[in-house]
Structures are given as C-alpha cells and as structure tokens.
Amino acid sequence: MSQQQIKPPAIVRVQPSAEKLQIWNSLPLEKRLDRIGTNLQMIRDKPYENVNYEAKPKFQEGDAVCVCFRGVFYSAVIKTVCTMLFDCPDLKKKVPLYLLKYPGWRFDAASSEPVVEYDLVRTLTNVLPSELLYAHYWNVAKIMKNPEIATVKSVYRLDDATRLKLEGDWQGSIGCDGPATSFAQWLGLETIAV
C-alpha cells in the first residue's frame, strides 16, 4: 500500500479589520494573553473532538514538554504514561494522562498529579511556535509582576536563538508580508527585556 503525501495547509493571509486591530491594541496585556491562551487551547482540543478519536498516548516517557502548573509554565519531562484515562466531561472523551518530572525540583509534589494530554505542549519536536512563544511570554509577564518566579527551577524560558527562530516561524505561519511584527510586539511587550 503506497503512502499518500499529506500537504500542509496553505497559509491563509487574513488582514484584520481596522476596528478589530484597534480593539486588540486597546486590550491590556492580561486580556491579550487570556484570549491567545483560549484560542491555543481550542487548537489543542481539536484532535479530541474528532468522532474517530481513540485514546492513544501521543507522548512517551522521556519526552520534553511544557505545562502550566499553578499559573506558571514549567519545563518538564514525561515520567510515566498512565494506564488510567481521564474522562473529559467537556469533550465527552477519554484522554491519556501523564506523570511529569520537573528538572531541578528536589521535592516534586506536582509529579504526583496526573496531567491531561491536551494540557501538554511539545518543546523539542513537532512544535507549534505560537504555543511555545505564548508560554515564554506568559512567564515574562508573570515575572514582571513577581520577579521571584524567575528564581524557581524549571520555569519555562526560551533562549534567544530559539526564541528568534520561533518568532520567524510564527511570522511565516501568519503570512507576515509587511514589516515583521514579533510575537512580543503583537502582545504589547516590545519595550521590555525578554
């Protein structure tokens, strides 16, 4: 049986109306982050909404991931793929669960709490630039309010080279034709150190 080549979706260039752009620009940072987070979660939930969805884990032990825990994004590694499944009331589906290891943490209270698959973001392979940029800038905004967060081990931050590469990938994914707008500028964070 020959494998059929799957073409990636074409980039759709959508120019927001001046009114929508004005509304977006008037929103405070927290509201912008909330809206982006809601949209990213809808994208992560999409595969589970498929009628043919089967609860097969898409991560394996040792995979590097990013996860939000108590309002901050952390780098983590899949420690265990749980045999138990989460019965999601919103999606009306069973979804895989994982136990995580947070590098550098001596007491790992979070590792005993199973995490639902759709709350995890890949950090090394098959990444979606907007998810990783969102996690990075979410933490930047949190650190602006509470600088002590920056001292916690495993807080998710992108190094400059990775951030710049993801910024370029993100700009390409939105079909940026004009002057390049970075994810940080889009959020309204262009004046702070990232």
- What's the length of the chain? 194
Mean pLDDT is lowest, of 30-39, 59-68, 79-88, for 30-39
CATH of domain 64-122: 2.30.30
Banded model confidence at residue 179, pLDDT cuts 50, 70, 90:
low
Report the SS3 class of residue 148.
Answer: helix
Contact 98, 169 (CB under 8 A): no
Domain boundaries, the chain: 18-50+125-187, 64-122
| Residue 50 to residue 54: CA distance in whole angstroms | 9
Q: Which of 120, 148, 115, 127 is nearest to 41 (CA)?
A: 120
Q: What is the pLDDT of residues 102-123, one digit of tens each?
A: 888 776 665 678 999 999 999 9
Tokens for 163, please give them.
């951030």
Mean pLDDT throughout 160-173? 86
Q: What is the DSSP string of 76-142?
A: EEEEEEEEEEEEETTTTEEEEEEEEE-TT-SS-GGGGS-EEGGG-EESSSS--HHHHHHHHHHHHHH
Report the SS3 class of residue 70.
Answer: coil
Q: Say whether pLDDT at 60 is over 70.
A: yes
Helix (H) or strand (E) holding 69: strand 64-69
| Residue 121 to residue 67: CA distance in whole angstroms | 7
Contacts of 96 (CB under 8 A, 6+ apart): 55, 56, 57, 58, 59, 81, 82, 85, 86, 116, 117
Tokens for 152, please give them.
């916690």
Q: What pLDDT is stored for residue 107 in this prediction?
A: 67
